[in-house]
Protein backbone atom coordinates (compact mmCIF):
# COMPACT_ATOMS: atom_id res chain seq x y z
CA UNK A 1 0.00 0.00 0.00
CA UNK A 2 3.09 2.13 0.00
CA UNK A 3 2.10 3.64 -3.34
CA UNK A 4 -1.52 4.42 -2.59
CA UNK A 5 -2.02 8.06 -1.67
CA UNK A 6 -3.96 9.32 1.31
CA UNK A 7 -7.10 10.38 -0.59
CA UNK A 8 -7.20 7.07 -2.40
CA UNK A 9 -6.82 5.30 0.92
CA UNK A 10 -9.79 7.21 2.30
CA UNK A 11 -11.89 6.23 -0.68
CA UNK A 12 -10.68 2.68 -0.26
CA UNK A 13 -11.92 2.58 3.33
CA UNK A 14 -15.23 4.22 2.50
CA UNK A 15 -15.90 1.40 0.08
CA UNK A 16 -14.54 -1.32 2.36
CA UNK A 17 -16.81 -0.16 5.17
CA UNK A 18 -19.82 -0.41 2.89
CA UNK A 19 -18.79 -3.84 1.67
CA UNK A 20 -18.23 -5.06 5.20
CA UNK A 21 -21.73 -3.94 6.15
CA UNK A 22 -20.61 -1.65 8.96
CA UNK A 23 -23.64 0.41 9.98
CA UNK A 24 -21.90 3.72 9.47
CA UNK A 25 -23.72 7.02 9.92
CA UNK A 26 -24.15 9.44 7.02
CA UNK A 27 -24.25 13.19 7.06
CA UNK A 28 -27.52 14.82 6.08
CA UNK A 29 -28.08 16.71 2.86
CA UNK A 30 -28.10 16.05 -0.87
CA UNK A 31 -24.80 14.27 -1.04
CA UNK A 32 -24.61 12.35 2.21
CA UNK A 33 -21.15 11.17 3.09
CA UNK A 34 -19.86 8.76 5.69
CA UNK A 35 -18.89 10.29 8.99
CA UNK A 36 -15.25 9.30 9.05
CA UNK A 37 -11.97 10.88 10.02
CA UNK A 38 -8.42 9.73 9.44
CA UNK A 39 -5.98 10.44 12.26
CA UNK A 40 -3.08 11.55 10.14
CA UNK A 41 -2.49 11.34 6.38
CA UNK A 42 0.28 8.96 5.42
CA UNK A 43 2.24 10.15 2.41
CA UNK A 44 3.00 8.09 -0.69
CA UNK A 45 6.14 6.05 -0.13
CA UNK A 46 5.60 5.54 3.60
CA UNK A 47 4.46 2.33 5.24
CA UNK A 48 2.77 1.89 8.58
CA UNK A 49 1.75 -0.44 11.38
CA UNK A 50 -0.28 2.15 13.20
CA UNK A 51 -2.91 3.99 11.21
CA UNK A 52 -6.22 5.09 12.66
CA UNK A 53 -9.55 6.26 11.44
CA UNK A 54 -12.67 6.89 13.44
CA UNK A 55 -16.23 6.55 12.25
CA UNK A 56 -19.65 7.24 13.63
CA UNK A 57 -22.03 4.28 13.57
CA UNK A 58 -25.73 3.81 14.13
CA UNK A 59 -25.14 0.38 15.63
CA UNK A 60 -22.21 -1.94 15.92
CA UNK A 61 -21.33 -5.59 16.16
CA UNK A 62 -18.59 -6.68 18.51
CA UNK A 63 -15.00 -5.71 17.94
CA UNK A 64 -14.13 -9.23 16.95
CA UNK A 65 -16.97 -9.56 14.43
CA UNK A 66 -16.31 -6.16 12.95
CA UNK A 67 -12.59 -6.83 12.54
CA UNK A 68 -13.38 -10.10 10.79
CA UNK A 69 -15.96 -8.44 8.52
CA UNK A 70 -13.54 -5.67 7.56
CA UNK A 71 -10.65 -7.99 6.98
CA UNK A 72 -12.72 -10.05 4.57
CA UNK A 73 -12.84 -6.89 2.45
CA UNK A 74 -9.21 -5.84 2.66
CA UNK A 75 -6.74 -5.87 -0.20
CA UNK A 76 -3.47 -7.66 0.36
CA UNK A 77 -1.27 -5.35 2.40
CA UNK A 78 -3.96 -3.77 4.58
CA UNK A 79 -5.21 -5.33 7.77
CA UNK A 80 -7.61 -4.07 10.40
CA UNK A 81 -6.11 -4.98 13.75
CA UNK A 82 -8.36 -3.19 16.18
CA UNK A 83 -11.92 -1.83 16.32
CA UNK A 84 -12.83 0.02 19.48
CA UNK A 85 -15.56 2.15 20.86
CA UNK A 86 -14.71 5.75 21.71
CA UNK A 87 -16.46 7.72 24.42
CA UNK A 88 -19.54 9.63 23.21
CA UNK A 89 -17.79 12.96 23.70
CA UNK A 90 -14.58 11.96 21.96
CA UNK A 91 -13.23 14.42 19.45
CA UNK A 92 -12.45 13.02 16.02
CA UNK A 93 -9.18 11.25 15.38
CA UNK A 94 -7.69 14.06 13.35
CA UNK A 95 -7.99 16.59 16.17
CA UNK A 96 -6.60 14.46 19.01
CA UNK A 97 -3.38 13.42 17.31
CA UNK A 98 -0.31 14.72 19.13
CA UNK A 99 2.62 12.50 18.24
CA UNK A 100 3.73 9.56 16.14
CA UNK A 101 6.54 7.02 16.25
CA UNK A 102 8.60 6.23 13.19
CA UNK A 103 11.20 3.68 12.29
CA UNK A 104 13.65 4.75 9.61
CA UNK A 105 15.75 2.14 7.91
CA UNK A 106 17.87 2.22 4.82
CA UNK A 107 18.09 -0.08 1.85
CA UNK A 108 20.52 -2.91 2.31
CA UNK A 109 23.21 -1.51 0.09
CA UNK A 110 23.35 1.74 2.07
CA UNK A 111 25.24 2.01 5.33
CA UNK A 112 25.67 5.18 7.36
CA UNK A 113 28.83 5.13 9.43
CA UNK A 114 28.52 6.11 13.10
CA UNK A 115 24.83 6.84 12.94
CA UNK A 116 24.57 6.60 16.74
CA UNK A 117 27.11 9.33 17.25
CA UNK A 118 25.41 11.59 14.74
CA UNK A 119 22.09 11.08 16.49
CA UNK A 120 23.54 11.85 19.89
CA UNK A 121 25.24 15.04 18.71
CA UNK A 122 22.16 16.07 16.83
CA UNK A 123 20.01 15.86 19.93
CA UNK A 124 22.57 17.75 22.02
CA UNK A 125 21.83 20.91 20.06
CA UNK A 126 19.82 23.56 21.89
CA UNK A 127 17.78 24.34 18.85
CA UNK A 128 17.46 22.81 15.41
CA UNK A 129 16.53 25.48 12.94
CA UNK A 130 15.30 24.61 9.49
CA UNK A 131 13.72 26.63 6.74
CA UNK A 132 10.26 25.42 6.07
CA UNK A 133 8.66 26.32 2.79
CA UNK A 134 4.94 26.38 2.39
CA UNK A 135 2.96 27.40 -0.68
CA UNK A 136 2.65 30.93 0.61
CA UNK A 137 5.69 31.66 2.70
CA UNK A 138 9.05 30.59 3.91
CA UNK A 139 9.88 30.55 7.59
CA UNK A 140 12.47 29.35 10.05
CA UNK A 141 11.21 26.66 12.39
CA UNK A 142 12.84 25.06 15.41
CA UNK A 143 12.45 21.32 15.19
CA UNK A 144 13.87 20.61 18.62
CA UNK A 145 10.65 20.95 20.64
CA UNK A 146 8.86 18.77 18.10
CA UNK A 147 11.26 15.88 18.49
CA UNK A 148 10.11 13.96 21.54
CA UNK A 149 12.59 11.19 21.05
CA UNK A 150 15.31 10.10 18.68
CA UNK A 151 17.71 7.19 18.92
CA UNK A 152 19.74 5.00 16.64
CA UNK A 153 20.11 1.26 16.93
CA UNK A 154 21.78 -1.08 14.44
CA UNK A 155 21.61 1.29 11.46
CA UNK A 156 17.99 2.04 12.21
CA UNK A 157 16.55 5.26 13.57
CA UNK A 158 13.56 5.51 15.85
CA UNK A 159 11.84 8.83 16.38
CA UNK A 160 8.81 10.20 18.13
CA UNK A 161 7.66 13.41 16.51
CA UNK A 162 4.99 15.99 17.09
CA UNK A 163 2.12 15.23 14.74
CA UNK A 164 -1.20 16.90 14.13
CA UNK A 165 -2.68 20.29 13.57
CA UNK A 166 -0.94 22.09 16.46
CA UNK A 167 2.61 21.06 15.60
CA UNK A 168 3.65 18.74 12.85
CA UNK A 169 7.09 17.40 12.12
CA UNK A 170 7.81 14.96 9.33
CA UNK A 171 10.59 12.36 9.58
CA UNK A 172 12.15 13.65 6.40
CA UNK A 173 12.61 17.07 7.99
CA UNK A 174 14.57 15.50 10.81
CA UNK A 175 16.72 13.57 8.36
CA UNK A 176 17.37 16.72 6.36
CA UNK A 177 18.40 18.54 9.52
CA UNK A 178 20.68 15.67 10.55
CA UNK A 179 22.33 15.81 7.15
CA UNK A 180 23.29 19.42 7.93
CA UNK A 181 25.67 18.28 10.71
CA UNK A 182 28.71 18.35 8.50
CA UNK A 183 30.62 20.91 10.52
CA UNK A 184 31.98 18.65 13.22
CA UNK A 185 34.70 16.10 12.68
CA UNK A 186 32.88 13.26 14.45
CA UNK A 187 29.68 13.61 12.51
CA UNK A 188 30.95 14.77 9.13
CA UNK A 189 31.03 11.39 7.45
CA UNK A 190 27.64 10.28 8.71
CA UNK A 191 25.98 13.57 7.82
CA UNK A 192 27.45 13.48 4.32
CA UNK A 193 26.22 9.94 3.79
CA UNK A 194 22.79 10.94 4.97
CA UNK A 195 22.75 14.00 2.77
CA UNK A 196 23.54 11.88 -0.25
CA UNK A 197 20.58 9.69 0.56
CA UNK A 198 18.16 12.51 1.13
CA UNK A 199 19.14 14.38 -1.99
CA UNK A 200 20.00 11.66 -4.46
CA UNK A 201 18.25 8.47 -3.49
CA UNK A 202 15.36 9.27 -1.16
CA UNK A 203 13.68 6.01 -2.24
CA UNK A 204 16.40 4.12 -0.35
CA UNK A 205 15.08 5.58 2.90
CA UNK A 206 12.29 3.42 4.30
CA UNK A 207 10.04 5.40 6.60
CA UNK A 208 7.67 3.28 8.61
CA UNK A 209 5.11 4.65 11.04
CA UNK A 210 4.75 2.54 14.15
CA UNK A 211 2.15 4.26 16.27
CA UNK A 212 0.06 7.41 16.60
CA UNK A 213 -0.61 9.02 19.97
CA UNK A 214 -2.96 11.47 21.56
CA UNK A 215 -1.95 13.64 24.48
CA UNK A 216 -3.78 12.72 27.66
CA UNK A 217 -1.59 14.93 29.77
CA UNK A 218 -1.21 18.68 29.43
CA UNK A 219 0.63 20.92 27.02
CA UNK A 220 3.63 21.26 29.35
CA UNK A 221 3.62 17.72 30.62
CA UNK A 222 2.39 15.58 27.77
CA UNK A 223 1.38 11.99 28.29
CA UNK A 224 1.33 10.15 25.04
CA UNK A 225 -1.35 7.53 24.81
CA UNK A 226 -1.68 5.33 21.75
CA UNK A 227 -4.97 6.18 20.04
CA UNK A 228 -6.05 2.61 20.43
CA UNK A 229 -6.01 2.98 24.21
CA UNK A 230 -8.52 5.80 24.02
CA UNK A 231 -11.26 3.32 23.15
CA UNK A 232 -12.58 0.11 24.55
CA UNK A 233 -13.31 -3.34 23.16
CA UNK A 234 -16.90 -3.94 22.10
CA UNK A 235 -18.00 -7.31 23.37
Partner 1 sequence: MNRLALSDEILLKIDKPARYIGNEINSVKKDLKDVNIRFCMCFPDVYEIGMSHLGIQILYHMFNQIEDVYCERVYSPWPDLDQIMRERHIPLFALETQDPVKEFDFLGITIQYEMCYTNILQVLDLSQIPLLAKDRTWDDPVVIGGGPCTYNPEPLADFFDIFYIGEGETVYGALLDVYRDAKAKGLSREEFLLKAANIPGLYVPAFYDVRYHEDGTIASFGPNRPGVPSVVHKEIMMDLDKACYPLKPVVPFVKATQDRVTLEILRGCIRGCRFCQAGMIYRPLRERSVESLKTYAVEMLKNTGYEEINLSSLSSSDHRELKELVTFLMDQWNGQGVNISLPSLRIDAFSLDVMSKVQDVRKSSLTFAPEAGSQRMRDVINKGLTEEVILNGAWEAFLGGWTKVKLYFMLGLPGETEEDIREIARLSEKVAKKYYELPKEQRNGKCQVTASSSFFVPKPFTPFQWVSMNTKSEFLGKARIVNEEMKAQLNRKSLRYNWHEADLTILEGVFARGDRKLCRGLLRAYELGCMFDSWSEYLDNDKWMQAFSECGIDIDFYTSRERDPKEILPWDFIDAGVTKEFLLREYERSKQAVVTPNCRSACAGCGARCYQGGVCFEN
**Given the rule CB under 8 A, which residues bind partner 1?**
2-5, 7-9, 11-12, 14-19, 26, 30-34, 44-45, 73, 75-77, 201-204
Rank residues 160 and 173 by Cβ distance to partner 1 and give the closer one.
173
Distance of closest approach, residue 7 Cβ to partner 1, in angstroms: 8
Closer residue to partner 1 (CB): 17 or 100: 17
CB of 68 to partner 1, least distance (A): 17
| 33 vs 182, beta carbon nearer partner 1 | 33
* β-strands 47-48, 205-215 pairing: parallel
Q: How far is the CB of 105 from partner 1 (least distance, A)?
A: 13
Q: Measure Cα distances from 225 to 36, 63, 84 in Å.
A: 21, 20, 15
Of 5 and 149, the one with the shorter C-beta distance to partner 1 is 5
Q: At closest approach, how far in Å is the CB of 30 from partner 1?
A: 4
Give 209's contacts (C-beta < 8 A, 6+ positions apart): 42, 46, 47, 48, 49, 50, 51, 100, 101, 102
The Cβ of residue 198 has, within 10 Å, a number of other Cβ atoms equal to: 16
Amino acid sequence: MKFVGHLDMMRYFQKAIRRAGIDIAYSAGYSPHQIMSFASPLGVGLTSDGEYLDIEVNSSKTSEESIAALNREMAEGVEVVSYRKLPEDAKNAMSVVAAADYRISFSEEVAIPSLEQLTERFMMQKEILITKKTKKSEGVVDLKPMIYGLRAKNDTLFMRLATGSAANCKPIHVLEAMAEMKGQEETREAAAALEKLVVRTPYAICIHRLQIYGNTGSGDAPVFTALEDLGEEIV
